Every structure is written in C-alpha cells, then in structure tokens.
C-alpha cells in the first residue's frame, strides 16, 4: 500500500449516526454535565480522589445513554462509527478525562467481544451493555506485563468433566484497571494451554477481589484498581470466541480504533486547557494591555499548541473516516491510529503545560483548573500504548513500507502532496512534500548504514514519520475545507483560510524537524561518510519555506481572538 494520505475516502455521514443525532448527543452531554458536574464539583472530587460512580452509571445508562453510541444497532445500540466516537470522546475529554476514561473502559472492556466473540456471546454481552448499562473493565495489564503484554502470567486452567472442558480456573493479578473497582463485568486476558485468551468474568465470582483505588497523579475521577484472581471459576461459554489462543490477536485488532479514542482525549484535554488560557489572556492586563495582545506570549503559549492539536485532529478525523469506509479490518489502520494518538496526546500534554504558564501564578493553583487538566491529560501519553511504544509501532511499520517499495513510500507521498499543491497552493502541501522527501532520504540512509539497529534511531524516525504524515493529513484537511468537502461531521471551528494558515505553520515545523532532527540522529549513529545526505534533504528549500511564518501565526492568533472582540 502507498502512503496513507493518498487514500482518504469520500466523506460521508452514512456510516454511524447522522450529523444531527451526533450534535444532539453532544448537546445532551454538555447539558447533563453543566447540571451534574460544575467546575466546583470537579475540583472537589479531584481533591477528595473520588470516582462519581453515580454519574458514570447515569452517563452509561438510561439517563444519558452514551453507551448506545458504541453498540451496533442489532444489539440495541445506535451503531456509531469511528468519526462519531472521536467527536464524542473529544467532548467527554473537554469535560473531564477521568469520566471519559470510565466510559472508555466499558468500550475497551467489550472490545474483545466485538472483535472475537461468538454470535451468542455478542448478543448476550453487547445487549446487556446497551439495555442495562452495565459497566465493563478491560483487564490486560499486569504488574510485570505492561507494554509487553506477551509477558502476562495470569493463567486459565481448563477444567474437564467426562473428557469435555466445562470451564477454566483463573489465577493471577491485573494492574491499573480502569473501572476495576466498580465494573459489573470484566474481560480478562489469561494464559491457556492454547495461548493467551480473553474471558468474561462477572463481579461477585468466588475468588475474585479488587484492590482499593490507586492514588493517582491525575484522572482522579476515574476508578483505577488492581484485580486479584484466586482460582476463579469461569464457565467455558465465557471463553471469548470459544477458541483458545486468540487473545493477543484480538487485542491488536482494535488498536486502530481504540487509540483514536485516546487520541481524541488528548485533543479534548489540550483544547480545554488552551481555551481557558485564551479566555484568561483577554482579561489579564499586564504593562497596560491584555496578554492576548502580546505577540511573544500568544506565539509561544497559544498558537503553536493549537497548530499541533489541529494536526492531531486531522489525523484522527482522516483515520476515523477511513475506518468508517471499511479500511480498518484486521488492524489495517493501526499505524494511522498510532500516529493520531502520538500527535494528539503529545500535543494535548504540551498544550496543557503551556496553559499553566499562560495563567502565570494563577495557573499553578487549583482554582483555574488548568493544573488539573494538565495532570489528567498526562495519562493519554501512557495508556493504550505509551508514546515510546507508538514511536516504535509507527517506525517499524513504515520502515517495512520503505523497504517493500524500494524507497518509494514517502517519495510517493511527496508526489501526491505536490499534486495537492497544484490544486490548492495555499494549504502548505508543498512544504509537507519537502518533509516527505526528506524522510525518504533519511530512511534510505538508515537502510544503507543499517542504522535502525540503534533503537533510538528507530524511535526518532517514528516521531518524524508522525510529523510528516500529520503535515500531509492537515494539508489535505485544509484543502477539503477550501473545496467545501470536509467530512459532514467534521469539527468546523476554523474556516478554510484559518485552516490553511494552521496547515502551513505545521508543515514548516514538520519539514524542519524531519530534515534537521533526522540529519542529527543519522549522523550521530553513522560511522560512514554521509556528505551526500544533507543536499538530498533540501534543507535550503525547507529554510526558504519558513518565510511568512510570523504572518501566518499573526493570522491564526487574530482568528482565535476574533470571538472576544
């Protein structure tokens, strides 16, 4: 397959719920939360380290019914698609990432059922989530098995009667499980004689206990607890899919989708913090004028962060649309999901950090909430695969693509972007193309010098790939906005001219990063003469493309503050 930005589907809202239903769901969520969870209650719950189980159940039950968006219509849900889920997750995270995590946990917990269960199992469990609003938890991580799930130690021993397996006895411990202390049902990954397998376990099973909630840095409104399994019996019909050994494959199959959800948490958390900083900067006067009128402040603490967040959004939205178009089967878009997660969560984390700085001393206190958001959004670079695991996942896959296509993968991407530039010269596509060309040259230097044997080089390539592909995705999104072909359920906060400026700023950053950081690591790892590499990176062109950067940043700032005039 060629580079991912080539194959975006025609936007359609025919998959999932219609645009109006989605808007209504988001509106109901905000109305519900305005009543039930004002800032003062959030701060109190965060301070007291309490998960508001009543709220979680109301949100995932009859009162609000958020779970319905995740469940297919045949099981009583609304059959939301990936784009619907991203839009909802972003809004949830804008409110509180801890609450969002509780909702996510039911979705994650039921994932192995979605992808691997028998028809009877799906009918039983997915219907119960839709109709009864039962909460799920996803039990994969163990004290010794985090990023490397293959190291899991929990065992499921078959129990036979008259020569037939009637059930399993599960023993082990699960660590850091969201909803661990409050869920009604759990999917548990355990080692069977046939290999790792998922089981559904109900609360109250004999031998199953949960630890007290963890005292966490952030997402303190989310219950996170260890699970203890001491010879717990589960009937054979609770072995997901009825066949042993499918567990790790099933866990992999859904990453493209679930990582988009966490990516949307990074996006929502980052924007929530940044919007607070934007509002604050219009009222805080220093040296005679509001902070919002100080270019050095806005161009350091606001504009670069919103640009990075919007690059994350472009990747999320594009990947979501491709999943909805049917491209994501068997984990085919896992790398795109990883890029989206990496870009959006790192951007969200950096934006929240900048939002504290933007508030000065007030940002360092609890009252202004940005301090809480910063602690909350931090988790998004850790769970559902850490940023380093994302870098590795992205780099390994794209390295293979580079080899398989004899180096054409990113040259093709650059060609497509040059085509886009011909049609839409203002969206930064030519600069994004420079990032693609530089990446192709770097990957080739790594191949010739066998440099990816250095894990550091491989992981840094993962970062550079994410920037280059993010730039391509954002340029395409800006072009779609200019042509009036954005996804019908797309976020429309920024108009076409603003998106074009945002895209140009990100493309400049991406190209510079790819060429200069890439050159640094390749030269740093190599012992050969690499004098031919620098010219093939087109550094002069990339430097020349920085012209107009400040004017674009001024235009973006002006768009952001327009609402306050």
Binding residues for ligand FAD (CB under 6 A):
105, 138-141, 146-147, 176-178, 216, 219, 224, 379, 382-383, 386, 388-389
Choose between 221 and 314: whose C-beta lies nearer to ligand FAD: 221
Let me know if 384 is a catalytic residue. yes
What is the spatial distance between Cα 38 and Cα 53, in angstroms, rounded to a whole number? 16
DSSP 140-203: --BTTBSS-GGG---EEEEEEETTEEEEEEEEEEEEEEETTTT-SEEEEEEEETTEEEEEEEET
Task: Assess contact for 254 and 247: CB atoms under 8 A.
Answer: no
The residue with its CB nearest to ligand FAD is: 146
Q: Which is nearer to ligand FAD, 165 or 382 (CB)?
A: 382
Cα separation of 417 and 438, whole Å? 13
CB closer to ligand FAD out of 392 and 545: 392
How far is Cα 419 from Cα 352, in angstroms, rounded to an integer? 36
- Closest approach, Cβ 101 to ligand FAD, in A, equals 7
What is the nearest approach in angstroms of ligand FAD to the Cβ of residue 485? Answer: 37
Measured from the CB of residue 551, what is the shortest distance to ligand FAD in angstroms? 39
Q: What DSSP string runs through 275-337?
A: HHHHHHHHH-EETTEEGGG-HHHHHHHTHHHHHHHHHHHHHHHHHHHHHHTTTTGGGTTHHHH
DSSP structure class, residue 464: H
- Six token digits for residue 447: 């191949």
State in angstroms the smallest separation of the CB of 200 from ligand FAD: 15
Q: Which is nearer to ligand FAD, 178 or 210 (CB)?
A: 178
Q: Quick one: which of 223, 1, 295, 246 has its CA closest to 118?
A: 246
Question: Cα–chain-centroid distance for residue 302?
Answer: 21
In the complex with ligand FAD, the residue whose CB is nearer, 50 or 285, is: 50
How far is CA 161 from its chain centroid? 45
Residues 6+ apart with CB under 8 A from 289: none
CB-nearer residue toward ligand FAD: 188 or 519: 188
Residue 7 CB, shortest distance to ligand FAD, in Å, is: 30
CB of 557 to ligand FAD, least distance (A): 34
CB 166 within 8 A of CB 233: no
Residue of 384, 463, 469, 498 marked catalytic: 384
Active-site residues: which are they? 384
């Amino acid at each position: 397959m060629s580079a991912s930005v080539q194959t975006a589907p025609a936007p359609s809202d025919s998959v999932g719920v219609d645009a109006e239903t989605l808007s209504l769901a988001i509106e109901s969520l905000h109305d519900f939360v305005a009543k039930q969870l004002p800032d003062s209650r959030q701060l109190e719950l965060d301070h007291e380290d309490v998960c508001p189980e009543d709220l979680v159940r109301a949100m995932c039950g009859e009162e609000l019914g958020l779970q319905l968006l995740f469940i297919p219509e045949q099981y009583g849900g609304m059959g939301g698609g990936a784009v619907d889920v991203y839009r909802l997750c972003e809004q949830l995270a804008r409110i509180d990432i801890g609450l969002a995590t509780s909702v996510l946990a039911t979705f994650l917990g039921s994932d192995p059922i979605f992808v691997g269960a028998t028809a009877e199992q799906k009918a039983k469990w997915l219907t119960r989530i839709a109709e009864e609003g039962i909460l799920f938890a996803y039990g994969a991580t163990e004290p010794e098995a985090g990023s490397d799930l293959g190291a899991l130690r929990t065992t499921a021993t078959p129990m036979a009667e008259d020569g037939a397996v009637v059930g399993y006895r599960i023993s082990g411990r699960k660590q850091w499980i969201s909803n661990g202390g409050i869920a009604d049902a759990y999917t548990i990954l355990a080692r069977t004689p046939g290999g790792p397998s998922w089981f559904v376990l109900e609360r109250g099973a004999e031998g199953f206990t949960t630890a007290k909630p963890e005292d966490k840095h952030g997402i303190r409104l989310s219950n996170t607890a260890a699970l203890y399994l001491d010879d717990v019996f589960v009937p054979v019909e609770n072995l997901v899919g009825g066949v042993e050994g499918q567990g790790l494959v099933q866990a992999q199959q859904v990453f493209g989708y679930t990582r988009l959800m966490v990516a949307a948490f990074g996006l929502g958390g980052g924007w929530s913090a940044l919007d607070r900083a934007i509002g604050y900067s219009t009222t805080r006067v220093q040296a005679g004028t509001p902070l919002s009128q100080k270019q050095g402040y806005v161009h350091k603490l606001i504009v670069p962060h919103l640009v990075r967040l919007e690059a994350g959004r472009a990747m999320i939205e594009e990947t979501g649309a491709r999943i909805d178009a049917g491209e994501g089967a068997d984990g085919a878009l896992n790398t795109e999901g990883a890029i989206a997660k990496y870009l959006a969560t790192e951007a969200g984390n950096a934006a929240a950090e900048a939002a504290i700085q933007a508030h000065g001393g007030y940002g360092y206190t609890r009252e202004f909430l940005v301090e809480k958001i910063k602690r909350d959004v931090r988790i998004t670079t850790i769970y559902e695969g850490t940023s380093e695991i994302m870098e590795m996942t992205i780099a390994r896959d794209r390295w293979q693509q580079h080899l398989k296509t004899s180096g054409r993968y990113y040259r093709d991407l650059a060609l497509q972007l040059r085509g886009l530039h011909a049609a839409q010269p203002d969206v930064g596509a030519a600069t994004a193309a420079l990032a693609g060309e530089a990446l192709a040259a770097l990957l080739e230097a790594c191949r010739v010098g066998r440099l990816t044997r250095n894990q550091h080089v491989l992981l840094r390539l993962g970062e550079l790939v994410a920037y280059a592909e993010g730039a391509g995705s954002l340029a395409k999104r800006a072009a779609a906005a200019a042509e009036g072909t954005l996804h019908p359920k797309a976020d429309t906060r920024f108009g076409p001219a603003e998106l074009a400026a945002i895209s140009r700023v990100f493309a400049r950053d991406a190209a510079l990063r790819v060429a200069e950081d890439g050159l640094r690591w390749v030269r740093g790892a190599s012992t050969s003469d690499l004098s031919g590499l620098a010219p093939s990176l087109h550094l002069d062109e990339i430097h020349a493309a920085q012209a107009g950067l400040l004017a674009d940043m001024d235009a973006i700032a002006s768009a952001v503050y327009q609402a306050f005039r």
